[in-house]
Structure 1
Amino acid sequence: MDAKKEVDWLVAGSGAAGMTGAVVAHELGGDVLVVEKEPMFGGTTCKSGGVAWIPGNHRQGEFGVADSAEEGYRYLKGLIGDSVSESRLRAYAERAAEMLQFMMQHSHVDFTPLPEYMDYYENVPGYKPGGRSMDPGVIHLRKLGAEGRSIRDDFTGPLPFSVTVPEGRCLGEMNFKSYLLGAWLLLRYLTDIPARLQGRQDQRLALGPALVSKLRLTLKERGVPLWLNSPVTELMVEQGRVVGANIQREGEQVAVRARRGVLLATGGFSRNAALRQQYQHPAVGGDWTASAPGATGDGIVLGQAVGAGLGFMGSSWWSPTVVLPNDEARLALIAGKAYPGSIMVNRAGKRFTNEAAPYEDVVKDQLASESRGEGAVPAYLLFDATFRSKYPAGNIHPGKLESDARLPKAFFETGLLTRADSIAELAEQTGIDGEQLQATLARFNENARRGEDPDFHRGATHHDRYYADPKVQPNPCLGPVETPPFYALRVEAGDLDTKGGLQADEHGRVLGEAGEPIPGLYAAGNTSAAVMGDTYPGAGATIGSAMTFAYLAAQHAFNNKAPQEKTDG
């Protein structure tokens, strides 16, 4: 006989969306259960930067930032247009700050504004040059006790220790302050003797792992259970209302009734080859995504089975990615593409994008180049010895910290990184049109020496210059590629996860194909069709919206309707 359980609020997924929805429901008096199909918790949030984009947040004034919900709405509306409903856009702009205050009051979540981390599109009304993107801070993993061994620990980065967003930017500047900070972080990491002896990750967590740990610690302290290895196999529907779900747990089917509702927060479908082939550009696929392995669209499929409508299935949170040789780790290339002394080219030997542009735009340009038959998947980030010495690229440390001889041989053997003494030789080894590449570099170098990029306007915006080298003038993003040896880093058309999913309203309620709410069913995060549409307003738009609509879903479920009556059994 199948087991049975009854709760107020059932959450599927243990990333930022799922655990936020669980915290809120508990604080509103609910009996909550979180289920996760993977053996580890944290999902794609744990592989991310953990940044949340929150317009008009209550901490901006501490950092001299003036902002409002209305300005946030104007920026979103100007960027997204009519592709997302007015009510859903306004709900995010007007209530994201409310969510933040609630979570900072009722959980260990503690976000700090990044006053220099700008929105991505400064020509859109309502733009702010900083303060909406927020860093999640740090936490020591030992606070979780034994639970700390179940957090997703495959966050991929170029350093053995964790760094916050401000620390990462400081290290990237490669100046005296950077060296001092790096030395302190490394010393702290090495002197954590128990962790080093056990071969464990850095116990001081930052970025996405820190956010996930703070959320899980909050739930742990409140006695909210998290079932691992427990996928949802089917939603339970009675008289048109979702009343719970069947869970496969330890070889047993458990029927979990949920009086207030079910929140689907299982991530996107970036690892589902069939769905990607059905809905997305033919050149993309799950091999290059930086999402968690569990992002196979489970929640989307479950919602479809009960009549949910879909939206933005052709879209993703695009980012160029670097696939490391172990064929397991995919590293989003966000920072290294803006430093001077580099260009990105297709196999036709042509530039196709402003390399320093927002990562979403770079991949959209990459796919457009591929569609024109120019061979842009993969593309190559080309740089010279000057760049190699001074700047990181993907998982490759600057040459003055890690020489070519110290790099893993697999980097070169797999073609991830190619080195040659001449541009002609580099083109031959990578299959790039050598004659066209020579012409592309001649034009680029001539303009770069003047600090100009008439073709793609690299370095013209605040965003372009954020991850550049301020010591290089007149344009911190531009420098000629001219000093041998030359390098080519293979760059895939990757993503952080997909952004298409179940249509939802301003309360996070899942909508049927005709636009009507499906009673008892909610969705947040990448399981839902993104409130950001086919755009990426700023760093943290993914997590900010995931947490906000999980908050709104729980608020609606507990404050806007009476619970179902308890049943026997």
Structure 2
Amino acid sequence: MTQFDETFDWVVVGSGAGSMASALLMKQAGKTVVILEKAQWIGGTTAKSGGVMWIPGNRFMDPGEDSLERACQYLDAVVPDDAESPGTSPARRRTYAVEAPKMLDFIVSQGVRMERGSRFWPDYYDELPGGMKTSRTVTALPFDKNELGKEWAGKLRQGFAEVPVKLDDAMKLPFAKHSWAIKRLIVGIGFKIILGKLTGKHWVTAGAALQGRMLKAVLDNQAADIRVNSPVSEVIMEGEKAVGVVTEKDGRPWRIGARLGILMNAGGFSMNQAMRDTYMPGTQSKWSNGIETDTGDMHRELAAKGAALAQMDQMVGFQMTDAPGWDTDYVKPGTQSTTAKPHAIQVDQSGLRYMNEGGSYEAFCETMLVRNRTVPAVPSWAILDQQYMDEYAVAGKGTAKKNMAKWLASGWMRKADTVGELAGIIGVPPGSLETTVARWNGFVRGGRDEDFQRGERAYDNFLGDPFFKDGPNQTMGMIDKAPFYAFPVYPGDVGTYGGVVCDCDSRVLREDGSAIEGLYACGVTTASPMGRVYPGAGASVGPSMTFGWIAAKHAAGLGNQVF
């Protein structure tokens, strides 16, 4: 028998949202829990993310708006089942659709305040059977992290938006000049910021709000012993069973036993360039919005203990650009909503369009990498005209009016009086780019993107301009007003999407399909239950929370008990 320094019922590696959900359920079952976080901050990638959960049939939707059958129809239409995607299956997707709303109800019952992410945040493939053109998204309400107390407030990982604004409202702000309602919203946010400073509040939103609220629920319920600076180096096995882990305490190895099981929610490997080179060549850690501790430690350790790894070539792509300051930015400058706006397209290094510039960020970056195998496409080039620059911000870096001189001086932004001249500056064949722009303008005049159907999905238009009236939809506008501009676009990401294969109970599986007793996993430590596709906003956080919760139910022997 292994000698342990201490023992808990449930040992959790990593402090993402799935970890917190599992701890809260274990507390309800009367079990002891320890959460071991490698970093000095709590929250994992979830805290840095948008914190959106994709949850079909959730409590915030209108009665009859969604159903289990419709959700499964959509997932089955979007997610292919093949030998290359063993992390998914019809059974596992159905398990998610059944359990996710229950998980949400439980989390809300624990005092975590949630709301519908938006009434208009369509599924990424909303045109497919079962797809929703409204919204299946759920987000946490903005959170004053000082509610955690001085000790824990300082341990919550920084979010990307530390202001008192709902995520849905934040996405409306760029269009303020078109709407008095949005102007009033900005005034209200400003008032809350000032009031917050006067009253000693520290507001966070998006993923940091979700993780702040989850952490507070865990602390309020005394659901777990949470430890930072506690990396796990080894899973301890007794025969075929996982019985504990080796972590660190006071600078020395510390062995913790697990009576019921171990939950691995240790993140991905986005910051491990060697693993990226092996599994997803052509991608770079420097383009990633992953967190510094995402180095794949537990991927390697679980594989060494016999776990099957799969879908390791997948990432949650999020296109980005190397705008000034990108290398030190906490969040890399994303270009998803840039190239999906009117008066913008994207071309490869031959000067050709090769995709719908709207749609899923995961599909966008996957398409870029696939294109690059035959035609140089990394980087690709965003092509815009003066109409774009007069109307919109660029890659989260502000407006052209305020920043163009700096952008041009840095060499990041390129500018020319004609499309042909711009082509020469960025090194693509002038005739090719001229033909591509002329073809695009013809599509705008004709009312349809004949090549890639941009704007025919509700989600494409979600990324566009709701106030744009000069094109066939909210994302298609002419590129015909000089001068013309270009900047490079790279296949960035918000994390990797492959890992250990799990069953419907979140048990980690071997290559032969048998479960490793005592070992569970969720989040991006696993091969995604969504396979190689991202069905909608929150298709990482939602499954992480749900399958972490499912793991706790199974390990505690709770079956279908309702809390």
Q: TM-score, normalised by structure 1?
A: 0.90
Which secondary structure state, in structure 2, belongs to the residue aligned with residue 134 of structure 1? strand
TM-superposition CA deviations, 1:330-384 (whole Å, max 9, x none): 23433232210101111211111111122122112211221112x2111122212
Match of 1:152 in 2: 157
User: Aligned equivalents of 1:539 and 1:246: distance in 2?
Assistant: 35
8 Å CA contact retained: 1:60, 1:113: no
8 Å CA contact retained: 2:52, 2:117: no
Match status 1:440 vs 2:441: no
Match of 1:465 in 2: 461
Match status 1:185 vs 2:224: no
8 Å CA contact retained: 2:111, 2:217: yes
What is the number of equivalent residue pairs in this alignment?
543
TM-superposition CA deviations, 1:454-502 (whole Å, max 9, x none): 1111111111111212332432211112223332232111112111100
User: Aligned equivalents of 2:335 and 2:242: distance in 1?
Assistant: 40
User: Aligned equivalents of 1:412 and 1:36: distance in 2?
Assistant: 43
Deviation at 1:259, TM superposition (A): 0.7
8 Å CA contact retained: 1:505, 1:511: yes
User: Aligned equivalents of 1:255 and 1:194: distance in 2?
Assistant: 46
RMSD: 2.2
Match of 2:17 in 1: 16
Cα 1:335–1:114, aligned 2, differ >3 Å: closer, same or farther? Answer: same
Which of residues 455, 479, 488 is equivalent to 1:490?
488
8 Å CA contact retained: 1:270, 1:286: yes
Match of 1:243 in 2: 243
8 Å CA contact retained: 2:38, 2:230: yes
Match of 1:58 in 2: 59
Which of residues 148, 156, 170 is equivalent to 2:172?
170
TM-superposition CA deviations, 1:17-61 (whole Å, max 9, x none): 222222222222111111111111211111211110111112212
User: Aligned equivalents of 1:492 and 1:305: distance in 2?
Assistant: 33
Match of 1:199 in 2: none
8 Å CA contact retained: 1:509, 1:553: yes
Which secondary structure state, in structure 2, belongs to the residue aligned with residue 294 of structure 1? coil
Counterpart amino acid of residue 151 in structure 1 = L
Match of 1:534 in 2: 532
Counterpart amino acid of residue 449 in structure 2 = D
Which of residues 326, 333, 336 is equivalent to 1:334?
336
Counterpart amino acid of residue 555 in structure 1 = K
Match of 1:258 in 2: 258
Counterpart amino acid of residue 399 in structure 2 = P
Match status 1:92 vs 2:100: no
Match of 1:277 in 2: 277
Structure 2 unaligned regions, length at least 5: 83-87
Which secondary structure state, in structure 2, belongs to the residue aligned with residue 275 of structure 1? helix
Match of 2:353 in 1: 351
Q: TM-score, normalised by structure 2?
A: 0.91
Deviation at 1:451, TM superposition (A): 3.1
8 Å CA contact retained: 2:497, 2:527: yes
Q: Spell out the pairing of 1:11-410 with structure 2 (5 A cutoff).
A: 11-61=12-62, 66-83=65-82, 84-146=88-150, 147-153=152-158, 155=160, 161=163, 163-174=165-176, 175-176=178-179, 177-190=181-194, 192-193=196-197, 203-223=202-222, 224-280=224-280, 282-324=281-323, 325-329=325-329, 330-373=332-375, 375-399=376-400, 402-405=402-405, 409=406
Match of 1:7 in 2: 8
Cα 1:149–1:414, aligned 2, differ >3 Å: closer, same or farther? Answer: farther
Percent sequence identity over aligned pairs: 32
8 Å CA contact retained: 2:159, 2:208: no
Match status 1:548 vs 2:533: no
User: Aligned equivalents of 1:446 and 1:475: distance in 2?
Assistant: 14
Cα 1:212–1:417, aligned 2, differ >3 Å: closer, same or farther? Answer: farther
Deviation at 1:250, TM superposition (A): 3.4
8 Å CA contact retained: 2:338, 2:344: no
User: Aligned equivalents of 2:38 and 2:119: distance in 1?
Assistant: 37
TM-superposition CA deviations, 1:283-326 (whole Å, max 9, x none): 21222111111111122112112100011111111221234525
Cα 1:136–1:341, aligned 2, differ >3 Å: closer, same or farther? Answer: same
Deviation at 1:453, TM superposition (A): 1.4
8 Å CA contact retained: 1:236, 1:246: yes
User: Aligned equivalents of 1:209 and 1:392: distance in 2?
Assistant: 25
Counterpart amino acid of residue 55 in structure 1 = P
User: Aligned equivalents of 2:482 and 2:535: distance in 1?
Assistant: 38
Counterpart amino acid of residue 445 in structure 1 = N
Larger mean CA deviation between 289-298 and 510-519 belongs to 289-298
Counterpart amino acid of residue 236 in structure 2 = M
User: Aligned equivalents of 1:494 and 1:52: distance in 2?
Assistant: 21
Structure 1 unaligned regions, length at least 5: 197-201, 562-569
User: Aligned equivalents of 2:500 and 2:540: distance in 1?
Assistant: 15
